[in-house]
Amino acid sequence: MKHPSFISLASSPDVVNVQPTHQIFGLMKEAIVAVQTDDERIAVRDVNFQEFEEFIESMSGEQFSKIREYIMAIPKLSHEVNYNCEKCSKDNNVKLEGLQSFL
């Protein structure tokens, strides 16, 4: 497992401009480097998205939860922007967080 870089996430067709469920699997695919079985080591970059998705879906709930915990613990940039609307003079607050706020 590794923390995916902003560049790898922003350029991944499995993460950008897809449905949220597909996005989660894409994020996992970016974070998982390889899978070790009793017989072999499989590099995730060498399998297509559908094969990877089938693999993830075959995991036990406990295995999936461990990967999810790892993904949720990845550091992310977060910033709150406060501004005043020039037209209506209303105070506004926007929270920018994660890749989705910048795409």
CA atoms of 46 and 43, how far apart (whole Å): 6
Overall domain count for the chain = 1
Amino acid identity, residue 81? V
Residue 83 lies in a domain: no
Amino acid identity, residue 9? L
- pLDDT tens column, 70-100: 888 888 778 899 999 999 999 999 998 876 6
Name the H helices within the chain.
Answer: 6-10, 20-31, 49-57, 61-72
- pLDDT tens column, 52-65: 889 888 999 999 89
Residue 85 lies in a domain: no
Residue 96 lies in a domain: no
With a cut of 70, say whether residue 12 has pLDDT above it. Answer: yes
- Is residue 30 within 8 A of residue 9, CB to CB? The reply is yes
Could you list the residue range(s) of the whole structural domain that residue 66 is in?
A: 6-75
